Amino acid sequence: MSKELKQNNKELKQKIKISKSYINEADAILIVAGAGMGIDSGLPDYRGPQGLWNTWHPAAELNMKYEDLSTHETFVNNPELAWGFQTYLTRLYHDLDPHQGYYDLFNIASKKFNNNYFVITSNVDSQFLKSGFNPEQLYEVHGSKRMWQCMDKKCNKNHYPWEMDINDLPNIDPDTLRAIRPFPKCIHCGNMARPNVSFFGDFQFNEKKTKVQSVYLINWINKNKDKKLLIIEMGCGVSEHSIRFTLKNKQYTMLSNEWKLPKSFMGETNTKMIRINPDETEEEGVVKIPYGAKKGIGLIK
């Protein structure tokens, strides 16, 4: 074993030891999960076009990226294509089993913290609910594929999103992978429905459910404002809409200002942070475990 490798192993063991001490000493835990959390469950990586093109061929044929397909306008202009893609994704998420890291996290949150936890995730796959987390302790900032909403803006102003039925997904042409009419309909007005997720450049997203979840988060924060907090962050990137946390002016805060949190809550004195991510460099105020979510959580549980 080289000298450099020995040093790296020594540093990793120290980080694992520190992480376990953070878990033992904290009173409350905030779990933050981005797209990287789902990779260990077998989800394709759609960040580059090849990940999508290799799994859903119409995207390659049309030279379209994930961002191009995931818009409200695609539902308006080409509903066969939009619902074809969303049906593929919805079934993928519905059939997906959470990886062991979710269950290890739930055991930490429920047993070591006596259920004093909250989850913030930008993922729309409902994996936290599948692995046992309380829906009233979950903030899905981009919505969820398990919920649907109306395409009509006026209808959305008056109605709450509803839980979809997997049997209501449209049939799919096996050759083109486009959806076949009829498409899912709004349960309130009969217009076409769509997933209740925040698409790219989406001004039609029905925020009623996510706003309720954000109130749950603020209530939890207020309840724990004087306690020792641990943040465990996994799989969060550095895009402008990321829920990634950072230490700034002696406060832990989200990189994006989209989701405003009380600034007096996460001071560096009472807050510790662990980041599980294989691709990140070191950062002040953060203990970094350089692995994917499943392995990283397993090391510190």
CATH topology of domain 44-95+151-197: SIR2/SIRT2 'Small Domain' (3.30.1600)
pTM for this entry: 0.95
Q: What is the pLDDT of residue 241?
A: 77
User: 19-42+99-142+205-301: which CATH architecture?
Assistant: 3-Layer(aba) Sandwich (3.40)
Between 71-85, 154-168, 227-241, the lowest mean confidence (pLDDT) is in: 227-241
Q: Which amino acid is at 49?
A: P
Mean pLDDT of 7-25: 94
- Looking at residue 204, what is its pLDDT? 98
Stretch 191-197: mean pLDDT: 99
pLDDT band at 2 (very low <50, low <70, confident <90, very high): low
What confidence score (pLDDT) does residue 172 get? 98
Name the average pLDDT for the chain.
93
Residue 156 has pLDDT above 60, yes or no: yes
Residue 273: is it exposed, middle or buried by C-beta count within 10 angstroms (0-12/13-18/19+)? buried
210-239 pLDDT, tens digit per residue, is 999 999 999 999 999 899 999 999 999 887
Torsions phi, psi for 255 (to 5 deg): -60, -40
Q: What is the pLDDT of residue 3?
A: 60
What is the pLDDT, as a whole number, of residue 47?
Answer: 66
Q: Which of 139-148, 163-172, 236-245, 285-294 is predicted least confidently?
A: 236-245
pLDDT for 1 beyond 60: no
Regarding beta strands 251-254 and 245-248, do their DSSP bridges make them parallel or antiparallel, or are they unpaired? Answer: antiparallel
The burial of 281, by beta-carbon neighbours within 10 Å (0-12 exposed, 13-18 middle, 19 or more buried), is given as: exposed
pLDDT band, very low/low/confident/very high, at 55 (cuts 50, 70, 90): confident
Predicted confidence (pLDDT) per residue in 268-292, tens digit: 999 999 999 998 678 999 999 999 9
Name the percent of the chain lying above pLDDT 70: 95
Where in the chain are the domains? 19-42+99-142+205-301, 44-95+151-197
